[in-house]
Structure formats: C-alpha cells, structure tokens
C-alpha cells in the first residue's frame, strides 16, 4: 500500500510534466500549421497552467456540485453514516473527510479532493438505504482507500488534464484552420509538419481518454483490495457491488467528466455492451466480485 501511495505521488508529477509537453507540442504544431508563430504555443501553455491550478485546488468542489452534493453533514444530521465513516477513518489513520449525502435513489458513492487533509466522501441516499451495515462499510472503506492511496489527487489531475487536452485540440483544429491555416505558399517541409500536426491533433484527445480509462480501472481494483484490508471482510464489499449492479440506474445528474470517480458507473453498467464496455470508466462488476471472493 505504501508503495502504491508513493507511486501515485510520482505519477502525479510525471503526469503534469507530460501534460505540459503534450500541450506545448499541440500549440507548436498549431502555430506551424497556421503560420502564426508562437502565438498558439503561448495561449496553450497559459491556458494549461490556469486549468491545472484551478483543477488542483477547486476540482473537488466542482465534482461535488456537479453531482448534487450540497452541504457536508454533521454527526447530528446522520449519526449512523457519520460514525461509520469516523470509525473507519480512525482505523485507517486518516483525518475524517467531509461527508456529503446526494439525494438520489441510485446506489453509488465517490471520493474526491487533493489529499487526505482536503478530502470528501459523497454517498447517495439510495446506497445508504439499500445496503446492510457490513456492505456500506465495504463501500466507505473502498472510498477511504482512494483517499489514502492518493487516487483522488491522481484522478482529479487526470480528469482536468485530459479535458484540457481535448479542449485545446478541438480549439486548435477548428479555429486554427478557419482563421489562418489556408495559405498556398507553404513549403513542402511545412506541409509535412502540417500533416503530422493534423494527425496529432486528431489522435491526442483519443489517447488522453484511453489513458484516463486505464488509470481509472486499475485504481478501482486497488481500492477494492485496500478496502478489504481495512475491513477484513471481502464479502461485505462483494455483496455491496452486486446490489449496486442489481439496483443500478442512470443517476439524476450523471456526468461524463466525473463518472470515473464513482464506485460504479453512474450511467448504469448493466446497459453497457460491445464497444461501450471498452470505453467504460470502470472494470465489470462481475470481475471485481470474483477478485474479492478470491481473497
């Protein structure tokens, strides 16, 4: 577990460095294609810096707001949930995160934040009502593991950076050619660079999304195992996942940008078939249940 935590911190630094390299390349190629010098490169890097800072410090608030989490609860508001989170947090050696309850009958939950001292857990009203004590403990332990393993920081940055790559690529590809990329006096070398640039602009958002999905799926398996290490009861989380799949439906405010944060796909994994499963943010629940029951 400690190795995974250290690895996630390293990955965060590497991810930011690679992100700025990709954004810089996109800006440079857009400048070559449109023959506008370093204008697009400067715009891209300034925008990337701005979104990185906002994403690091405010993405948790954005994720909570987007998914309908309004105010954190206190112990008097829901003693059952608060004490369960409190006990598991103490057991895991974590500060007690802020706890939110989302008014949605679809059973689901997620954790967000940039580190254990600035973390939040959100549970839907449906998951609290439908799960037994040991099952809800398994879900909360899973989310606390995301916090302890620094998955919340890694996935927060992945979301922000991937979104930024997609937006910049789209902007450069659309507006760059409309306002400056149709000159007839380009040299053949510039033409080759332009062709490479077009291919890069088209493929970079797809590659970025695939990286996001790969990281997200691996984090879910790790959080399942880490959660069981905390509760010492794999069957609780296994049964919880089965109930989540059984009663799963699209959440009221399901959002593609935050779907990977949840313990299960908020768009309902039961309806995913064929190629849609390939691009799902979560591994199949059946595979997770099998892995849990093999522990």
Alpha-carbon distance values, 2 to 7, 197, 217, 243 (Å): 8, 41, 20, 31
Alpha carbons 261 and 156: distance in angstroms, whole number: 9
Catalytic annotation, pick one of 135, 137, 143, 220: 143
8 Å CB contact between 145 and 230: yes
Alpha carbons 11 and 49: distance in angstroms, whole number: 18
Alpha carbons 52 and 58: distance in angstroms, whole number: 10
The tokens for 66 are 């987007």
135 classed as catalytic:
no
Query: For residue 196, what are the contacts with CB-CB under 8 A and spacing of at least 6?
Result: 29
Alpha carbons 29 and 198: distance in angstroms, whole number: 8
Alpha carbons 63 and 257: distance in angstroms, whole number: 9
In this structure, what are the phi and psi dihedrals at residue 254, rounded to the nearest 5 degrees?
A: -60, 135
Contacts 24+ apart (CB under 8 A), 262-266: 262/108, 262/109, 262/110, 263/108, 263/109, 263/110, 263/139, 263/142, 263/143, 263/220, 264/107, 264/108, 266/106, 266/108
Within 10 Å of residue 291's Cβ, how many Cβ atoms? 16
Catalytic residues: 143
């Amino acid at each position: 577990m400690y190795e995974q935590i250290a690895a996630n911190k390293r990955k965060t630094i590497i991810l930011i460095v690679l992100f700025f390299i990709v954004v810089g390349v996109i800006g440079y190629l857009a400048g070559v294609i449109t023959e506008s010098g370093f204008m697009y490169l400067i715009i891209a890097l300034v925008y990337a810096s701005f979104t990185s800072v906002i994403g690091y410090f405010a993405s948790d608030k954005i994720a909570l707001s987007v998914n309908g989490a309004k105010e954190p609860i206190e112990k008097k508001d829901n003693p059952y949930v608060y004490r369960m989170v409190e006990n598991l947090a103490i057991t895991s050696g974590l500060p007690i995160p802020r706890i939110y309850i989302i008014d949605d009958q679809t059973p689901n939950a997620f954790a967000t934040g940039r580190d254990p001292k600035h973390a939040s857990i959100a549970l839907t009203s449906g998951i609290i009502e439908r799960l037994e004590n040991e099952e809800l403990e398994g879900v909360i332990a899973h989310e606390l593991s995301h916090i302890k393993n620094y998955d919340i920081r890694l996935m927060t940055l992945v979301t922000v950076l991937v979104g930024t790559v997609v937006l910049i690529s789209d902007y450069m590809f659309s507006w760059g050619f409309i306002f400056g990329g149709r000159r007839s006096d380009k040299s053949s070398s510039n033409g080759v660079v332009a062709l490479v640039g077009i291919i890069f602009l088209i493929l970079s958002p797809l590659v970025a999304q695939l990286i996001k999905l790969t990281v997200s799926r691996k984090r879910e398996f790790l959080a399942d195992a880490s959660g069981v290490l905390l509760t010492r009861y794999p069957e609780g989380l296994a049964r919880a996942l089965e109930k989540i799949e059984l009663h799963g439906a699209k959440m009221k405010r399901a959002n593609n940008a935050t779907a990977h944060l949840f313990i299960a796909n908020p768009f309902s994994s039961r309806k995913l078939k064929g190629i849609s499963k390939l691009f799902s943010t979560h591994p199949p629940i059946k595979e997770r249940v099998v892995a849990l029951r093999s522990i």
